[in-house]
Each structure stands twice: as C-alpha cells, then as structure tokens.
Amino acid sequence: METIVNYDVNKIKNELKTLAEEQRFYKRQRKSDKTIFKERVITPKEAQWKHQANRQKLRLMYAAYGLMRGKPFSVTENKYSEEEHPLNKFKPQISDVLTIYMIAETVEK
C-alpha cells in the first residue's frame, strides 16, 4: 500500500473567490464619505483592520495555491527572484495552509 498526497484545488479556489469578494466589500466600507453608502455595515476602522488581515490571508492562500500547481514563489509573485523572495519568511504558515487542503489517498499495488 502506498499513500499519495493530493490537494483539494477546487476547495481552495472557491475559498479564494469568497475571500476576494470580502476584500472588495471591506475596501468599499473603508471609504469615509457618507454619500457613497446609504447604510454602513461596519465602521471604517473595523473595515481597515479586516481588510489588512484578509489581505495577508489571501496572500498566503495564493502562495499555497501556486505551490499546489507546482509553481515557485517567483511565479506567484513575480516582482522578486526566488532566492530573496519575501514569501520565504512565511513558509511555516504556507505549509499550514497546504495541510488544510491536503488529501491523502492510499493505493494498493
């Protein structure tokens, strides 16, 4: 028996879409002009905090999604070279995200 590790790519894609929608919502809620919104759901201060936390989570999830597809960090965020990429500091958090979406399958040979 052999264990094959796969990732649930569809699940992470759906969660990335959901978080991206939330990100747009928080960005609109950060605006302080009352004429833009008839009803404010959350305060601009809370929207700013949630936007920043969501941004960091999205960055880690996009990096994990790239690794699932076999892409290095320099392809996911192509502003930096692979050796000095800032995502190298976040490898433990990215591996935690990868373990969330990991599917282990046992195959008999």
**Residues 53-81: pLDDT tens digits?**
999 999 999 999 999 999 998 888 888 88
Domain count along the chain: 1
Cα dihedral 8→18→64→27 (10° resolution): 180
Query: With 90 as the cut, is the pLDDT of residue 95 above it?
Result: yes
Query: With 60 as the cut, is the pLDDT of residue 109 above it?
Result: yes
- Residue range of the domain that includes 54: 2-107
Q: Please say whether the beta carbons of 24 and 54 come within 8 A.
A: no
Q: Please say whether the beta carbons of 44 and 31 come within 8 A.
A: yes
